[in-house]
Structure 1
Amino acid sequence: MNTTSASSSPGSLTDKITTLVKVLRSEVPECIAAGAIDMETGMLLAVETVDNHPQEVLDLLAAATLDLFQGRNVVMIESIWKERRGIIQDSHYFQEILVNSDNLTHLFIRTESRDDVVIVVVCRKTVNVGMLFAQARRVLKDIGRL
């Protein structure tokens, strides 16, 4: 298993994120990797995988996550939709994004307590998507208060 985290002091945000990622990795069905990305910096905060992936692959995942949620076009679309729906608060419109590749399913979820942190859960393509969402949301609800 591969685990990465920024710093380690008891009860720190880093410890909470590391625990969250480990629990996601172990409790989400067919999960092969889980991670957390800081949307302020685009940095990978923690990752737990079944294989050792090169750091550049993990860095690309973090960059892609940042682009998915805060790329120029996404921000523009969010702004237009919020304006048309009369949403005034300065929150993000997109909270969850599901991406299917040839072999994998990737679920990206903005954490409720800190919208500057997005978790990523990567599963085999055979995963039951309903169970993926249910388990990921349950884990976030149970221990996702960052």
Structure 2
Amino acid sequence: MSERSMSHVVTDAVKDFRGSVPECVAAGIVDMSTGMLLAVDTVDNHPNEVLDLLAAATFDIFQGRNVVMIEDVFNRRRGINTTSHYFQEILVNSQNLVHLFMRSATNSEIVAVVVCRRTVNIGMLFAQARLVMKRLDGGVG
């Protein structure tokens, strides 16, 4: 069986997030090495500027200067000499939505973004999103 391209893997993953995660209104995959949004699937037709900002915000949330400094301090205090990232999942509640940002366990340059309505059960959001993320990790590892 031939390997699927990275493009197919991320396109299928965003569709899987949208179909599997309850109350999901949007999902995207961001490449942290380039800051680019690799794939997106939404219920609305968002302008490209909004989608570009999502990719930039994802980068800032995980790899902004202050976040990197916090990770370095945490690792030093624990005596960990690693280049791996401390923060793996970040949940952000906005007025109307819940945003879950998840770093790939197999490729730290890949972050999935899942956006749901505020009515979502947070436990189900994490459970379903983690299942999809495991499948994504199998394809990008």
Q: Structure 1 length normalisation: TM-score? A: 0.91
Equivalent residue, structure 2, for 1:32? 25
Asked if structure 2 preserves the Cα contact closer than 8 Å seen for 1:20 and 1:144, the reply is no
Alpha-carbon distance between aligned partners in 2 of 1:66 and 1:140, rounded to the nearest angstrom: 18
Q: Between Structure 1 and Structure 2, which shows a larger proportion of helix residues?
A: 2
Task: Give 1:34-49 correspondences, 5 Å limit.
Answer: 34-49=27-42
Partner of 1:92: 85
CA drift of 1:63 comes to 0.3
Contact residue 21 and residue 34 of structure 1 kept, 8 A? yes
Which runs of 4 or more aligned residues in structure 1 lie more than 4 Å from their structure 2 counterparts after TM superposition?
none
Match of 1:63 among 37, 45, 56: 56
Name structure 2 gaps, 5 residues minimum: none
Runs of at least 5 residues in structure 1 that lack an aligned partner in the other structure = 1-9
- 1:112 corresponds to: 105
Partner SS state of residue 25, structure 2: strand
Shift of 1:144: 2.9
Aligned residue for 1:15, secondary structure, equals: helix
**Rounded Cα–Cα distance in structure 1 between residues aligned with 2:55 and 2:6:** 18
What corresponds to 2:122 in structure 1? 129
Amino acid across the alignment from 1:37: V
Q: Distance in 1 between matches of 2:37 and 2:134?
A: 21
Identity of aligned residues (%): 64
Instruction: Tell me how many residue pairs correspond in the alignment.
Output: 137
CA RMSD of aligned residues (A): 1.0
How far the C-alpha of 1:143 sits from its partner, in A, is 3.9
| Pair 59,49 (structure 1): closer, same or farther in 2 beyond 3 Å | same
